[in-house]
Amino acid sequence: MQTNQRKVGRPKAPPRTGPLVLGEDYARTKVTLEIGERTEEVLAEYTRWVEKSAGISSNEARFKTVDFALREIFRRDRVWQAERRAPSEPAKAAPVVAAATASRPATTPPSLPPPAPRANGDGSRT
């Protein structure tokens, strides 16, 4: 017996047949950095695989691999994303408030009267 009901949930994605890093292309900028020796070995191995799979140059494969890896790390780091979305700290806003207060004219009266002088135990005032 056949049913006409659809399966619940998202349909399965077709299986990947090539490198994940080949999805998108972005503008480039040059950054020089140091990485660990083992990481460099794995990067070189993966880059060769991307180069062979896609028929692109090793520089192009390396760019796409590193770019994709960094974007994924930034996207998946939930703590960093929460920090990014958090409102700015009040300490950062303090200089703006201080600057606004300093720009007030000198003729502005204070909001509270000056404190009254206190009497000492000997009857004199300080």
pTM of the model: 0.57
pLDDT at 125: 56
pLDDT at 114: 60
Q: What percent of the chain has pLDDT over 70?
A: 67
pLDDT at 111: 57
Q: Name the nearest CA neighbour of 23 among 58, 59, 50.
A: 50
Q: Where are the beta strands (DSSP E) in 27-120?
A: none
Answer left, alpha or beta for residue 9, where phi above 0 means left and psi between -120 and 50 means alpha: left
Which segments of the chain have a pLDDT < 50? 93-94, 97, 100-101, 103-106, 108
